[in-house]
């Protein structure tokens, strides 16, 4: 899918001014008396009320040099109003140093940094603000915004959650929390929040797009279809909506429909590899392997770095019987710095299918050295293939070990269970063999003739071809 736009959550920053001189300390009855005692402040306020900010700042300079708290607060306010956010942030920071427990110094400093898109100092200042005033919902909201831009998504979601606990239903915080969850890969948690927001703003295109992306990422295909239709009605021809409908059709195994949709997307955006890749995936599912290889090749023409398309093209060529081309692709991938367990395992499988046991085993060892996951399906398939070769050559103990490991991933594979039983029988572990054969027959009764043949004393125990 199209990635979430980098600025899609910028609207959640409130546009209100920082806390003013008198807003910051409404209960301080001595403020006027102190102002009268400080000539620079009196003159600055006079210019301020006359809308003469430059003169007011000039009048404040003597008091600012002495780090007078009220002068720092007023000076920062004037700088903020005139757009000098950098100086405003500096003055608020000085105020916080002079009065560490000042109610709004850290908050205002954080807001200035936020407007300047200076995320690290914004987060630092706003974290001080929420420590000083944990009940300040707006500070939690702005802290979440800064953390979101720093890609500290879990902390951002927590900050937005704190804001919502103080101000339930606050739309910017709901949106911020949804974005934070989505960026953590928790699309299923983000989706209900987006849907909640859409109830209040059903025609907000940006919100619809984010909700649609979350629905696709969560695999909520019925919801994705509904949201895509709404987005299409609001923005006819929307590429994200068309893409979501194509993915929904693919998920529902309507491959012809999905293929047509992805081909239309490829025609509309030929420079992007993804539509070609997904068209190839549809063709592969339809058993049209040669055409699938051509689609994956088109994806690579759009982006030669698209490794998924290279792997898929090799698999398509293998399935169409063009194993030499498939092997060449996988060998190149296996030797590249960007190689993967999948590429190495699939190359090993091709070696096994060609009867090259040593090369297949070397590929298996390399995949494991690369840190293959215990449940990696590609490694499980390679274990099956190597096990089949070993079984053919009489290496029953090694084959049984490989089959056993593969069964931890493919426990419902009847042919694998049958072959495992055959190796156990060859090792005279008959009770275990009977258990494996029984499970295989329960899954696939058509294996009964092969079992009878395996039990024939005149027959040589062998594997089933499908086991690889």
Residue 278: which H helix or E strand, with range?
A: helix 273-285
Asked if the model's pLDDT at residue 56 lies above 60, the reply is: yes
Q: What is the pLDDT of residues 208-246, one digit of tens each?
A: 999 999 999 999 999 999 999 999 999 998 999 999 999
Mean pLDDT of 288-314: 95
pTM given for the model = 0.71
Q: What pLDDT sits at residue 323?
A: 95
How much is the mean pLDDT over the chain? 88
Task: State how far the Cα of 67 lies from the Cα of 304, in Å rounded to an integer.
Answer: 60
Q: What is the pLDDT of residues 26-44, one digit of tens each?
A: 454 444 555 555 678 888 8
Mean pLDDT of 279-295: 97
At residue 15 the predicted structure's pLDDT band, cuts being 50, 70 and 90, is very low
| E strands in 329-437 | none
Task: State how far the Cα of 382 lies from the Cα of 363, in Å rounded to an integer.
Answer: 9
**Which position has the higher pLDDT, 11 or 108?**
108
Token pair recorded at residue 437:
């054969």
Q: What pLDDT sits at residue 466?
A: 42
Report the percentage of the chain scoring pLDDT > 70: 89
Q: What pLDDT sits at residue 206?
A: 87
Asked if the model's pLDDT at residue 361 lies above 60, the reply is: yes
Q: What pLDDT sits at residue 20?
A: 54
Asked if the model's pLDDT at residue 12 lies above 90, the reply is: no
At residue 14 the predicted structure's pLDDT band, cuts being 50, 70 and 90, is very low
Burial category of 371 from C-beta neighbours within 10 Å (exposed 0-12, middle 13-18, buried 19 and up): exposed
């Amino acid at each position: 899918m199209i990635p979430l736009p980098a600025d899609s959550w910028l609207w959640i920053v409130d546009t209100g001014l920082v806390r003013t001189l008198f807003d910051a300390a409404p209960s301080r009855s001595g403020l006027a008396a102190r102002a009268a005692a400080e000539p620079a402040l009196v003159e600055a306020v006079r210019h301020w009320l006359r809308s003469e900010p430059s003169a007011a700042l000039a009048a404040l300079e003597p008091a600012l040099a002495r780090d007078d708290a009220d002068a720092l607060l007023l000076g920062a306010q004037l700088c903020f109003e005139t757009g000098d956010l950098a100086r405003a942030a500096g003055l608020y920071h000085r105020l916080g140093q002079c009065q560490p427990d000042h109610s709004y110094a850290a908050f205002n400093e954080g807001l200035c940094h936020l407007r300047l898109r200076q995320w690290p100092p914004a987060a630092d200042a706003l974290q001080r603000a929420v420590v000083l005033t944990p009940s300040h919902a707006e500070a939690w909201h702005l802290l979440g915004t800064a953390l979101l831009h720093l890609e500290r998504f879990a902390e951002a979601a927590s900050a937005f959650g704190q804001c919502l606990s103080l101000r339930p239903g606050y739309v910017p915080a709901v949106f911020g929390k949804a974005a934070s969850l989505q960026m953590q890969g928790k699309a299923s948690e983000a989706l209900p929040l987006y849907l909640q927001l859409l109830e209040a703003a059903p025609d907000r295109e940006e919100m619809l797009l984010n909700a649609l992306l979350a629905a696709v990422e969560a695999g909520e295909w019925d919801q994705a279809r509904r949201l895509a239709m709404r987005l299409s009605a609001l923005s006819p021809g929307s590429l994200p909506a068309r893409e979501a409908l194509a993915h929904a059709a693919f998920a529902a195994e309507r491959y012809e429909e999905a293929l047509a949709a992805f081909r239309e997307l490829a025609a509309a955006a030929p420079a992007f590899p993804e539509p070609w890749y997904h068209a190839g995936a549809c063709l592969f599912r339809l058993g049209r392997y040669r055409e699938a290889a051509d689609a994956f090749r088109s994806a690579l023409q759009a982006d030669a770095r698209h490794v998924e398309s290279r792997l898929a093209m090799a698999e398509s060529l293998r399935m169409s019987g063009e194993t030499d081309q498939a092997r060449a692709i996988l060998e190149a991938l296996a030797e590249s710095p960007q190689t993967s367990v999948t590429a190495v395992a699939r190359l090993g499988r091709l070696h096994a299918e060609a009867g090259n046991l040593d090369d297949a085993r070397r590929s298996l060892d390399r995949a494991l050295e690369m840190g293959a996951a215990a449940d990696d399906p590609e490694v499980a398939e390679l274990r099956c293939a190597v096990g089949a070769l070993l079984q053919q050559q009489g290496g029953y103990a090694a084959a049984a070990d490989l089959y056993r490991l593969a069964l931890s991933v493919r426990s419902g594979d009847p042919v694998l269970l049958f072959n495992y039983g055959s190796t156990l029988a060859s090792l005279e572990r008959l009770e275990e063999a009977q258990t494996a054969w029984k499970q295989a027959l329960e899954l696939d009764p058509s294996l009964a003739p092969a079992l009878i043949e395996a039990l024939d004393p005149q027959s040589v125990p062998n594997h089933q071809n499908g086991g690889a």
